[in-house]
């Protein structure tokens, strides 16, 4: 009977490093702006930075056979991905 060796990655495993407990603060709705905010234990609003939205999509492209001077020729099709971000983060 042959014994299957253990996967190579299990030889590299170690216990997780010690971690510290981080206080959690659930989001609340600011009545003036109707935006979710985080308030710390001292009642101060915690700045989380700006988070924008973005859109992306695929635009199909294709070539037709021939160059107009004569029939035939190769055809080709592919797509180009576009990415637009409306708000810079930072």
Closest CA to 46 of 72, 79, 24: 24
Say what the pLDDT of residue 69 is. Answer: 61
**Mean pLDDT calculated for residue range 10-32:** 85
Q: Is residue 87 part of a domain?
A: no
Report which of 90, 82, 20 is spatially closest to residue 48, judged by C-alpha positions: 90
For residue 26, the model assigns a pLDDT of 85
What pLDDT score does 89 carry? 47
Structure tokens at 13: 């495993």
Q: What per-residue confidence (pLDDT) applies to 45?
A: 84
Question: Looking at the 3D structure of the chain, how many domains does it have?
Answer: 1
Give the pLDDT of residue 63: 66
Q: 41: which 2 tokens?
A: 């234990």
| 40-56: average pLDDT | 74
**Residue 71, in any domain of the structure:** no
User: Would you state the pLDDT for residue 90?
Assistant: 47
37 lies in a domain?
yes
């Amino acid at each position: 009977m042959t014994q299957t060796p253990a996967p190579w990655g299990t030889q590299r495993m170690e216990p997780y490093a010690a971690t510290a407990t981080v206080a959690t603060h659930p989001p609340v709705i600011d009545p003036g702006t109707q935006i979710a905010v985080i308030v710390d234990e001292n009642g101060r609003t915690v700045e989380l930075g700006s988070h924008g939205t973005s859109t992306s999509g695929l635009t199909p492209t294709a070539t037709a056979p021939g160059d107009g001077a004569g029939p035939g020729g190769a055809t080709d099709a592919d797509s180009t991905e576009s990415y637009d971000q409306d708000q810079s983060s930072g």
